[in-house]
Every structure is written in C-alpha cells, then in structure tokens.
A and B are shown apart, each in its own frame.
Chain A
Amino acid sequence: MSLATETQGLRFLLEIGVEEIPDWMIPGALENLRLLFEKLEVPHESITMDATPRRLVLRADGLPERQPDSQERVMGPAKSAAPQAVAGFARKLGVKPEDLSIETTPKGEYYSFLKKVAGRSTKDILAEGLPAIIPQIYFPKTMYWTGKGGVRFIRPIRWLVALLGDETVPFELAGVPSGNLTSGHRRLGAREVVVTVDDYQRRLRDHYVILSAEERRQRIAKGMSGVRVKPDSALLETLVYITEFPTPITGNFDPQFLQLPEEVLVTVMRHHQKYFSVEDAQGKLAPQFVAVMNIDADSEGFVRSGNERVLRARFNDARFFWETDQKKKLVDRMQDLRNVTFQKDVGSYYEKLTRMAALAGKLGGDADAHRAIELCKCDLTTELVKEFTELQGVVGGLYARAQGEREAVCTAIYDHYKPESMEDSLPRNRAGMIVSLVDKLDTLISCFRVGLAPTGSRDPFGLRRAAQGVVRILVEGKIKTSLFDLLPGIPGIGPLRDFLEDRVRFYFKEIRGFRYDDVNAAIGARGSWTDLLEVEARLIRLQNLRGTPDFEALAAGFKRMENILVQAKFPGGGDIDPRLLEPGPETDLYEEYRSIEGQPIENVISKLRPKVDLFFDNVLVNAPDVRVRQNRLTLLSTLLAEFSTIADFSEIVTN
C-alpha cells in the first residue's frame, strides 16, 4: 500500500454499483470502461480494473489536480478601427486597451490579446465526463428501469462511488448521486460502507467482497485442492464472476447414478448446476461434485444437503428420460422427424435428412455415413434431448450404441455437430466428417435459398460457424472435392459462394497464418480454387518459394506480363509462331519455356528468372509489326498461364 506515497498526483476511484451483471459480460464491459475512460484524456500513471457481479471498478493513480494552463490569442478589430471598437474589445476581455497588442496578419494589422486559459480541474472534467461515458459501456442486451426513455444499462445502477483524492467527484446518473458509499456482500456485509480511495479494497474485504477476480479464482482453487476436480476453466470463470465471496463445498451423489452415461451426468452438473465434476484416481467419474457458494461457510451443512437434493432430483429426471427413450429405437423415430421443423421456410428435419443423403452421395460417403445420416437427427425427438438440448448428437450416438448400431455409425452420430468452434476438434472418423459436412452445407444452402443469410452481427442460424466448420473439415479432414460442385445451381447461391469464399480467406489468413497476399494469389490462381486441399497446397508452395532468392524478381516479372497483357487487352489463347521470334532474349525465353513446360515452378525458377529479366531488358513487346507484337503477347500469355496455376502473381506484394 506504499504505492500512494510513491506516485505523484491524485488517486481516482470509480465504482459503478449494479444489480447482478451476467457473468460472461463482465470482462468485456471492464475493458470497454477502460477505453472510454482513456477518451476523457485525463493524464494518469496507472490504471486498474476490477469487477464482481455487483460492481465495475476503475482505479487510476497519478492524476493531476488540474490540466496545465494554456494561452489563447484572441483577435480583435483592425488597427485602423475606431477607438470605441477597440475599447469595447478590451472591455469584453476585462482588460484595458493599452494591454492589447498589435498582430500582423496577411490581411493587415489587428489588435489582439494573449488570453491565459486556466487548465480545467480534473474533478470538473470527471464530473462532466463520467455520467456521459458510463451509459456508453457496451452490453449485448440492455434494459431501462427509471421509465421509458431513461438510461439504459445492463441492470439497474444502484450506487456510484467516485472519489478523486479526498474529494467526491459530484455527478448524478439515473437518479443516483455519486458519493463515497459502497455496498458490502448482500448477506454478509453492510448495505452502506464509507470508503476512501486508499481503504476501498480493504473495506470491501471487511464486508465480504473480494474485489480481485484473481483472488477469487485462487480462493476457489484453494478450496478445491483436496479433491480431484475435472479441470474446467470456462466454468471457473463463470463462478469467479457470479460470486463476491466464493467458497467451494464438496457434495456426494448416489453411486447408482454412475450407470448413466458420463456425458449426461457431467452436463447436468456443469450446465444446469454449475458444479465441477470429480474424478477418482483412475480418471473415472466419481460420485461427487464441487459447488461454489457465494458465502463464507456452510457451517450447518444446509447448502451441501440442499445441492445434493437438487442434483438427485435432476439425475432422477435424467434416468427417467433415458429409460423412457429406450422404449422407442432411433430408427423408429425417423418418421417423427416429419413433424420437427428445421426452419419454417425450409421444412422438416426429415426433408433435411433426404437432402443430406443426396449431398453425401456426391461426396462419396460410405454405408456408415449414410446410416449415420438416417439416424443423426432422431435424438431430437427424445425426452433427454428435449431436456438437455446441448446433448444433441451425443445422446444420438449413445442411444445408437445401446441399440447395437455399428461403432463407426455411433461415433459419426455422436460427433456430427463438431467442430462447434475454431478450437473444437473435428469428428473422429470419416463417416462423422461426411455427416457433419453435409449437415452444415445443407443448412447453409437451405438458409441462403430462402434469404436467411447473416446480416452484420446477426447470425441466428450460426451460419458463419457452419461455414467455418465446412472449411476446416474439408482442409484438415483432407476431403478432396470441389466445394462449389456441391452447391446447387439455384438463385441465391451467388451470395453463398461469396460467403464461403470469405470464410476460406478468413481460415487461411487468421487461423492458419498465411500471408494475406499469398492467400489472394492462391485463390486468384488459374483454375478452380474450390478444392481447398489444392488451395492449401498452393499456399504451402508459395510460402516455400518465398524463401528462394529468385521469387520476388520472378513474381515482379509475372506481374509485369500481366500488366502488359491487360493494357493490350490481349484475349489469351493462340499459338506461338516460332518463326516470328527475334533471335536473342526472345528466342531464349521461348526455348527455356519449351524445356521447362510441365515442370513445377520450384524446379525451374532459378533458370527461368534470368531469361525473363533479359527479355524485359532487351525486347520491346509493343513492336511496330502487328504480327510480331501479337506473337510476343502470345508468348507472355502462354508463359503466364503455365505458372499461374499456383498463384495469381499480380496479387503478390513485392518489395
């Protein structure tokens, strides 16, 4: 706490007291608040951001008392003006006419005055700026509470602490005046707690609020150290931001429930109850869980037994659903899918399966893939998936196994929603990849067909994620096909092609880290780019070629050829007439071309490059004789075509 004495200037504390903010929005809101504060341009040495579900906190050190003074030249009447005008100008500034000076400007001589502008006090700047920036903090969904047209925020603002040094920064927002009163833990702390910039964090701690997320994280970790908890960083973050004083407790459940699939048990615990699951020494699920309370202790054991009862009821439900669902096999549920709408303009899931099967045919899906397609959506009619929608696919795979389907089919069903994010893994087997691919492609085609393309940030059907999944499976799953051959020739498909191209570019640039100009060049190369394995191969070749000494020069040469051909409006095609070639560099280049034709560019680049250079140094393409000129253009065009199957060199950025 010696920081205060080491730094010059004032300490600033802003605490926005809010009713419980959804945990997942908090880190973004804090970052946003920091940026908004920076825009106020109040100098400071350091800045610290903290939050709990009920408070967003910004603390800054080393703020000046006021902005530095500045000077401003005020221009008055012309030197030739009447004395009354000059006196009036002086009076307005509160000075005497003899205090004025004469300024020479391009327009002539004028009276002027150098006015001193006192720097504004930091307190004033903050008092004006804070109520303006706080409502600008971005939240995905906001509300109003003081009445229609009132301030919008994520949840109602209930108190505001704004202190600069020893003073309150006075302002009001949503009817709440700023002050020096914070609020402690909802049950363990006082409703009103007086704080200063220096004792704020300590005072909160006295009232059972741990301000630092890192400290709450450590407290949770420490409280679980005696148990083998399945690591789950996303759940940990959730718990860090839904508590002000987190304390983990361990509970038990009846080992009988372990007969249910682990996926079901873990989903109930994680998604529905926010519990960590526990493993035994062999890494198998143990009949235990860890819940994180927002309170200091469970001295009477009420919280543990309460959570155990809730979990028991949930597991009983799940077991009931599992047993009920087994009464009707997946295959017998296919016809029920006629009544399950995929999207109202697109039709039922049954129709979707039919289209998926047709697409799988084009992709060379085997019998396992086709069987998996038939069964993959049937779990949507099961009670278990109706209750735990996030288990769609997984439940289908588990049921398929219980009903004696082939292992490859079960795995394919289980995995067919994968990859659900860029970090997620691909389906484990080829049938799974085919099912996932045709499912996502069909969703894309169907939605674009009826005009449901994503707009801006709105993407209710997750089409971007679906398209990204398609690209990843094709490339990383090494599925050789032409992407566009899979798309039907119907209206509305043009935008889908563009959409997919955009995702392909995004994937190679942002995910795989290829140079943007290489990606443009590889996609722009002659021939189709829609075999993504081919695009990947071109990119790897380009990356390697970049390391060779002749690459940039040759790329520059190809670019020059391209420019010449474009300027000449050369249509391409035609045969080279060797008789029209001039001896020397032109013939040399032609012969070089003949000798390397059909070889990969890597093998010939060092031989070709000097010939190209010599040609451009010595030969005038734009020859007076039309036939010679045309022949030269044909030579360049042929040469360019030969090597443009790897890249469109005009896209390559050279130094």
Chain B
Amino acid sequence: MPDAPAGITRDEVAHLARLARLAVSDDELDVFAGQLDVILGAVARVQQVAAADIPPTSHAVPLTNVLRPDVLRPCLDRDEVLAAAPAAEDGRFRVPRILDEEV
C-alpha cells in the first residue's frame, strides 16, 4: 500500500488544472494549493485502514448484467439540439481550431 505523497505543490495543482481544462489565475492557484494541501492531509487518512484483503466497492448496489435489448428509440430533433449549441454550422457543432497535439 503506497503512502500518501508528502503534500500537493503549487506546480502540481497547476498541472492538474491544465489536465482538467481550467485556466486558473495565479491568485487562485495560491489559494487552491493551500486549501488542497489541507484537504489532502485530511483525506489521506483513508490510507490508515483497509488492507489489501479488502475488496473495493465501486457500486453501492450489487447488480450485474443490466442490459437493454438492441432496439431503436426516437432521436432528438437536430434543430432543437443545435439551437442549444454555442455555435453551429451546416448541421454540425462548430468549434474553434483544434490544437495539433490532440490528434
């Protein structure tokens, strides 16, 4: 069982914010870094319990094999859908240019 990392640095928070697509300001970074460090300190207690032999619980209800038959259901009206979009063109959602490295 790995131990809790020492704490969370401002740089780590900046990296996480980038990962999460949040353009946080420098002031925000300072505040978040401090608060997250405190919060992480508190939640790191989960590592005091629960040894290897304890199975994780990902679902509160013990269900399996919940499936739907392969049948069609009505779709949404395209005009209604695109009306809610920030920008649309030729029946499609319009977005700004996409950065290369995303490919």
Chain A complexes with chain B: no
